[in-house]
Amino acid sequence: MIYRIFLVLIAFVSLSSVAKAQPHVLEVYNTDNSPLPDDNVRALAIAPDSSLWIGTENGLTAFKNGVWDIVDTLLGYQIRAIAFDTAGHAWVGTFLNGFWVQTDTSWINYTTSSSTLPDDFVRTISFCPNGTAWVGTVGGAVEISNGIWKVYRETNTNWFVEHITSSYCGPDNIVWLGGLNSGLMRQQDTTWTIYRHSNSGLPDNTVLDIKRNNNGDYLLAMPASGAAAFDGNLGWVYYNTLTSNNPSNSINHIAIGNNGYLYFASADKGLVVYEGGLDWFNISTISRPDTSGTFLPTEQILQLAYDPSGVIWASAANEGLLRIEFLDTINSISNQSFNQNPISIYPNPAQEYCIIETPHAVASISFINVLGQVVFNTISSSSKTKVPLSHLPKGTYIVAVQIGSEQISQRLTKY
């Protein structure tokens, strides 16, 4: 079942600033304005074809270039994890229904009844470069390699707790698992090394997410101690309210941008962004009560996904799916992108009106002032759009134009 929908809500929002502010464009997708199966989004992942896969409390869907593709087989299932194997097939973990594996023609379901899966509540799935899959459940983990399953539980390991909440396998094919009150666990050469608060610099024994940055450091998301970076040996760096400008001590998930920035899904401060050094800021529900629709609908962000175009996708607890694009990302589109999708704005400078020409139909046109505020927005289905300017004060504006999957911007001066 496939639906097509264009940009449904665009708002230019201000930021709650810790060290500085960053203007951005926000779009909200929910069950009122899209085919999203449920407003409670619990899992996000970017597929090899750059589509966004969205797991909700009522099923799974994919979204790309304005097209929604509902996975009928998984309608009604509560999704908790999404990952893609080396062949590009999706693996989907559920609450109490095991996990599903996509094939070229169908889906296969693995549960405790049909396999050696230790529990039917699957919280995390990850893959090693060599193709090995790791599936973490609330009752242990399973390693699947070349069709052979090996289960790890307290009874056959030195683990403290079996409840697995996160997993990561890097280019060295070494797996890291995070647990609920069980610390950080690393398997190498069949041996498990356990990092806990009592024997290492790990600040929190619950690890909700694990990522690895370009420096080879492991980034950990923790519900009570913020985030931490670990070099895999003895070095620890803490990102919490006491040791940094991070405004939140409760981090659910981490995304790493192509620009090296770190994006944190917090439970109490919305989206937190770390650009390096002392530069932190967050996007939240600041200034509530707010009726303009220009702030996040909730402070509680569950998961993040960073797509190749620089867009941040965030799951807002019970409030749907958020698409966040920072203005510096819009403005940094390469000349090659401009050449591939050129736009023409004239006259420039302009007084009473301007005309925007594009090679294809435009989904959205936004005018953004020097304060980072969207002062005008329109949806157009024409490749030539006349925009009246009489209502705008004199000054310089950024005109952000959405063309297909790309967003291109140019400056316009009104005199």
pLDDT at 286: 60
Residue 195 reports pLDDT greater than 90: yes
pLDDT band at 334 (very low <50, low <70, confident <90, very high): very low
Whether the Cβ atoms of residue 330 and residue 26 lie closer than 8 Å to each other: no
Give me the CATH topology for the region 335-414: Immunoglobulin-like (2.60.40)
Average pLDDT, the chain: 86
pLDDT band at 5 (very low <50, low <70, confident <90, very high): very low
Digit-coded pLDDT (tens) for 303-319:
999 998 888 999 999 99
Digit-coded pLDDT (tens) for 217-230:
999 999 999 999 99
Maximal C-alpha separation, the chain: 76
- CA 191 from chain centre, in angstroms, equals 32
Q: Which has more pLDDT, 62 or 13?
A: 62
Return d(Cα 401, Cα 387) in angstroms, integer: 13
The verdict on domain 2-330 having CATH code 2.130.10.10 is yes
Residue 104 reports pLDDT greater than 70: yes
Query: What does the pLDDT average to over 47-75?
Result: 94
Q: Who's near 137: CB < 8 A, 6+ residues apart? A: 117, 118, 119, 120, 121, 122, 123, 164
Nearest in space to 64 (alpha carbons), one of 410, 323, 352, 373: 323
Q: Which has more pLDDT, 2 or 367?
A: 367
Nearest in space to 327 (alpha carbons), one of 297, 371, 295, 379: 371
pLDDT band at 329 (very low <50, low <70, confident <90, very high): low
Dihedral pair phi/psi, residue 73, rounded to 5°: -60, -30
pTM above 0.85, yes or no: no
Long-range contacts of 342-348 (CB under 8 A, 24+ apart): 343/401, 343/403, 343/408, 343/410, 345/399, 345/410, 345/412, 348/412, 348/413
Whether the Cβ atoms of residue 125 and residue 134 lie closer than 8 Å to each other: yes
Nearest in space to 297 (alpha carbons), one of 50, 11, 82: 11
Partners of residue 271 on adjacent β-strands: 265, 283
pLDDT at 9: 34
Locate the domains of the chain by residue range: 2-330, 335-414
pLDDT at 370: 65
pLDDT band at 158 (very low <50, low <70, confident <90, very high): very high
Q: Which three-class secondary structure string do you get for 77-115? A: CCEEEEEECCCCCEEEEECCCCEEEECCCCEEEECCCCC
Among 139-153, 347-361, 383-397, top mean pLDDT goes to 139-153
Burial of 279 (0-12, 13-18, 19+ CB in 10 A): middle
pLDDT band at 212 (very low <50, low <70, confident <90, very high): very high
